Amino acid sequence: MADASIPLAGAPLPLVPRQQGALATNRGQHVPDELRRAAEQFESVFLSEMLRPIFDGLQTDGLGGGGMGEEMFRPMLVERYAEALSHSGGVGIADSVVREMMRLQEAQTPPATEAADGADR
């Protein structure tokens, strides 16, 4: 059986991707994949912004560290860490965004009014 972990150098624990369709709203509705992806992307951007100051303060002078190359690629590494965290379950922001978007969608959908004979009124 193949390992479903996301390879992430330096990560203390293996990151396992979230199961597709694992989240359903409190009413048991299926969450569209596009909505799940958008929520995970939002969480990833949020996590990236939270991780950036942590990595900005790290000193990496020495063998193989520092320099112009690291200055250019460190933001990409931070974004990749945030994507991996979000994809593996994140911190719950994506789940909250999905629930809120589904709630807003339900609130905007007008209730179906149907007469006893089946005709719309």
| Region of residue 113 (left: phi > 0; alpha: psi -120 to 50; beta: else) | beta
Give average pLDDT by consecutive 10-residue segment, the chain, 121 residues.
50 47 53 90 94 83 70 88 88 91 84 64 57
Question: How high is the pLDDT of residue 38?
Answer: 92
For the chain, how many residues are written?
121
State the sign of the Cα–Cα–Cα–Cα dihedral 40, 46, 49, 50: negative
Res 27: pLDDT: 53
pLDDT recorded at residue 72: 82
Domain spans of the chain, in order of start: 33-108
